Amino acid sequence: MGMSKEASKIYADIKGILEKLYGKTVDDASYKELYKASALSVRDRFMSTWNQTIRGIYRDKKKMLYYMSAEFLIGRSYASNIINMGLWDSYKEVFDHLGVNIKDIIPMEADPGLGNGGLGRLAACYLESLTSLDYPVMGCGIRYEYGLFKQKIVDGAQYEVEDDWLHDEFVWEVERPEWSFEVKFNGEIEEEWTEKGLTINYKNYNTVQAVPYDVPIIGYGCKHPGVLRLWSAKSEAGFDLSSFNKGDYLKAMENRQLAEIISKVLYPADNHQQGKELRLKQFYFLASAQMQFIVKYHKMMFGDLHTLPESTVVQINDTHPTLAIPELMRILMDDEGYSWEDAVEIVKKVFNYTNHTIMNEALECWDERLFRVLLPRIHTIIVNINERYCAKLAEYFPDDMEKISEMAIIAYGQIRMANLCIAVAGHVNGVSQLHGEILKRRLFNYEYQVFPNKFTAITNGITQRRWMALANPELTELLRKTIKGDFIKDYRLYEQLIPFADDPSFRAEFRDVKKKNKERLSEYLQDTQGISINTDSIIDVQSKRLHEYKRQLLKCIHILYKYNHLLADDKALTHPVTFIFAAKAAPGYHRAKSIIRLINAIADLVNNDPRTKDLMQVVFLENYNVSSAEILIPAADISEQLSTAGYEASGTGNMKFMLNGAVTIGTMDGANVEMHEQLGPDNIFVFGATATEIANYQRFKSYNPGSVFEKNVYVRNALDRIIDGSLPGVAENAFSDIYQSLLFGNGYEVADPYFVLYDLPSYAEVYTRAINLYAVDNESWMRKAIMNVAKAGFFSSDRAVEEYNEIMWHLKKYGEQ
């Protein structure tokens, strides 16, 4: 059996690496060793291209985008790199030759969980798209030694286990110690007037060394790899020399730990900020290291910093990296001798800001006293920015102190990061059309009046390389036979599918693909959790972080509603349904954890009742992450996008389901609104109150969940199930808190703040319609599913980054002058 030339070469390389690394042959290497050796052979194939790209940027003084983010949820790199390099078939051939399934090699790589959810995954999709489109980009983040916790479910409850993802070595990263910088904390500043003007003396500070690790980003075609630069904290060599010299070795080591703790762990809270000192340290650490790099690099290229905006544009992904703004001011003034005015002129041309949430508890604020102690110099700079900013605002709103203090960067002892971003950034972006409108009309309405042109709304996107080619090889194969041209590269080509939605033989093939993906999911659930699912059932999925506004509870109560209905009428469900949930809860978010416990209790109830178990099954998929999403999403028939209208800034999971041919049941929220627009009302199931209706209820405090409860006996009976002792394995009052909160609220929270009961009847109505359609007119269902794929092109991150580039980045492709 002969291998192709390419495969033979790869095979020889892997053989050589195995020998060198482990002294083993391909026959006695373990899967882990095979993974590592083959990954290194992949690396060897792009290293010189990567190197040339970096040199080219420097030589041609190319403008580069720095995408700064506290989170990059990149997922595994191995298959993605091979696919984008066009080497998938050859690598598969090699493993076939070895009698090994390449699909068993892929999971040997740890999935770097360097993000919580949507915001981190968006950053990863954007890096991939920018690189695929041949734009120069550097992602800038933190090399957390421990990523997001791994989730274990024990007796129905979530437990967190550390994610030691670097344990087996991360083969893709390259340490760049020559680009290390010192980051300074604490201490005092002294202002001194000399003949050169005001000079700042910063004394008695602590230093931490920031060491970058570069991860290559291999775009489609692998022409010009991008880079994700992740900063790691190291204590200074001889960090505490005096203790060392006094023989206090332990004290010295202790200090070392205190320094290195900065990049130890990703905070696992999503949409809830706590103002913790260590988190502030992480953010300044990232901001300072990255700005020092940018300044040094620009000076090497241009010699002079006036031209900084010609080489540099920075995108701030949510407020987490905001301190980059005052840090660049500090460097320009204190280290480079610029005046305030000159520094401002440069800085305001460099930064743009993307907002990802309107949730009040997620808007970052820092206690001013804590801030001043940790970052005294940055504090004085922000005070100065604030003074000038407020003076400017006073010109627009003379004597309106209320408005000005609402917009101020510092007020009531708090430093507000979003306000700082709006004051300085060139553009403020919302992540969907609706979200952009809400920023302008509600959250930042005063700012919008002052800076009407700053506000933009570029809808999020996802990369079709990972979310089609990698995650759904079966559908990719079918599309390859159907679509003319390279739809992996060009998202516009998906529309060619539209006529095929009416073609019965295409539908049959499409249905077949879905079935195979359900079987793959079933195997996964069997292997990981010992669960078997009915692959002829409708697969209904809600997968996303657990949060009350995302309303996993709505789906829970609806399942109980259906369960009751089925007990009363065995025709209440016309087709078997598998209800899947996948969600991590922030460890300190008790209500969210309690909802996970509830989901598992409901699973125990319906899965074990002989009257319902053949028609309904409830599954909680453990440890949802990028890798499990790649298996889960392609298997879905129904995508649940249930957020209370106005709360989900965009959503990107919704787009992944759409691309993979699931039909959405959703509210008119975030990007669902645009999916509805693209698809037309026939290809999506919309329900629930609109964002305007919700806002009005809130404004007039006119929503009363008690009346829904009283009026609707089905709602009442469903809700009663959670407290009437029906649920097995839990104490009768285990969920009384949830029940109470929905009906009565408590001291500091209104009743049913996310309108779960309000939307339940319309959800139930639309749900029944959806299931019935699938059951009685499956051809029409498949038609809708295919239309979803056909219309998903708009939601490509290729489209999104092109829009950003057009409006704010103004990058040139490699080879473009």
Contact flags string 417-456 toward ligand 26W, x per CB under 6 A:
--------------x-------------------------
CA distance 308 to 297: 10
Instruction: Confirm if 413 and 368 have CB atoms less than 8 A apart.
Output: yes
Where does this chain touch ligand 26W (CB under 6 A) — which range of 91-99, 266-274, 404-412, 755-763? 266-274
Number of residues this chain uses to bind ligand 26W (CB under 6 A): 22
366 neighbors 415 (Cβ within 8 angstroms): yes
| Contact string (CB under 6 A) for ligand 26W, positions 295-334, x = contact | -----------------------x----------------
Applying CB under 6 A, does 376 fall inside the site for ligand 26W?
Answer: no
Query: What proportions of the chain, in percent to the nearest 5, are helix, strand and coil?
Result: 55, 15, 30
Ranges assigned E (strand) in 220-282: 226-235
- Torsion angles phi and psi, residue 334, rounded to 5: -75, -40
Distance between CA atoms of residues 786 and 272, nearest Å: 37
Helix ranges (DSSP H) in 60-98: 78-84, 88-98
Amino acid identity of residue 759, one-letter, is D
Whether the CB-CB separation of 668 and 676 falls below 8 Å is answered with: yes
* Candidates 131, 319, 322, 652; catalytic one: 652
Cβ 119 to ligand 26W, closest distance in Å? 3
CA gap 734, 723 in Å, rounded: 8
For the CB of residue 179, give the shortest distance to ligand 26W in the complex, in Å: 28
Least Å distance, CB 651 to ligand 26W, is: 5
The reply on whether position 271 binds ligand 26W by CB under 6 A is yes
| Distance in angstroms (rounded) separating the CA atoms of residues 760 and 602 | 17
Q: Is 408 left (phi over 0), alpha (psi -120 to 50) or beta?
A: beta
Using CB under 6 A as the binding rule, whether residue 650 contacts ligand 26W is answered as yes
Q: Is there binding between residue 356 and ligand 26W (CB under 6 A)?
A: yes
> Nearest residue to ligand 26W, using CB?
118
Q: Which stretch binds ligand 26W (CB under 6 A): 208-216, 420-428, 563-571, 643-651?
A: 643-651
Tell me: does residue 548 bind ligand 26W (CB under 6 A): no
> Which one, 94 or 418, has the nearer CB to ligand 26W?
418
270 makes contact with ligand 26W (CB under 6 A): yes
Alpha-carbon Rg for the chain, nearest whole angstrom, is 27
Looking at 210, 218, 259, 269, which residue binds ligand 26W (CB under 6 A)?
A: 269
Shortest reach from residue 491's CB to ligand 26W, in Å: 18
- d(CA 640, CA 627) in angstroms, rounded, equals 20
Window 70 to 129, contacts with ligand 26W (CB under 6 A): 116-119, 122
Residue 460 vs 463, nearer CB to ligand 26W:
460
Cα dist. 718→505, 604, 734 in Å? Answer: 42, 16, 16
For residue 148, what are its two tokens? Answer: 């997001």
Site string for ligand 26W, 652-671 (x = CB under 6 A): x-----------------x-
Interaction with ligand 26W in 664-723: which residues (CB under 6 A)? Answer: 670
Closer Cβ to ligand 26W, 478 or 595, answer by number: 595
61 given a catalytic annotation: no
* By the rule CB under 6 A, 625 interacts with ligand 26W: no
550 is catalytic: yes
Q: How far apart are CA 809 and CA 63, in angstroms?
A: 9
The window from 57-65, 265-273, 419-427, 557-565 that contacts ligand 26W (CB under 6 A) reads 265-273
Q: Which one of 214, 334, 648, 802 is in contact with ligand 26W (CB under 6 A)?
A: 648
**Catalytic annotation on 459?**
no
Under 8 Å between Cβ of 134 and 219: yes
Q: What are the b/e assignments for 688-701, b being 16+ CB within 10 Å? A: bbbbebbbeeeeee
Residue (356 or 507) nearer to ligand 26W, CB? 356
Burial class (CB in 10 A: 0-12, 13-18, 19+), 711: exposed
Interface pick for ligand 26W out of 41, 292, 460, 517 (rule CB under 6 A)? 460
In angstroms, give the least distance from the CB of 284 to ligand 26W: 16
Rule CB under 6 A: is residue 362 a binding residue for ligand 26W?
A: yes
Q: Of the listed 45, 416, 544, 784, which one is catalytic?
A: 544
DSSP codes of every residue in 125-185: HHHHHHHHTT--EEEEEE--SB-SPEEEEETTEEEEE---TTTT--TT-EE-GGG-EEEEE
- Selected catalytic residue, list 143, 550, 562, 584: 550
472 is a site residue for ligand 26W (CB under 6 A): no
Q: Which residues bind ligand 26W (CB under 6 A)?
A: 116-119, 122, 269-273, 318, 356-357, 362, 431, 460, 648-652, 670
Catalytic residues: 356, 544-545, 550, 652, 656
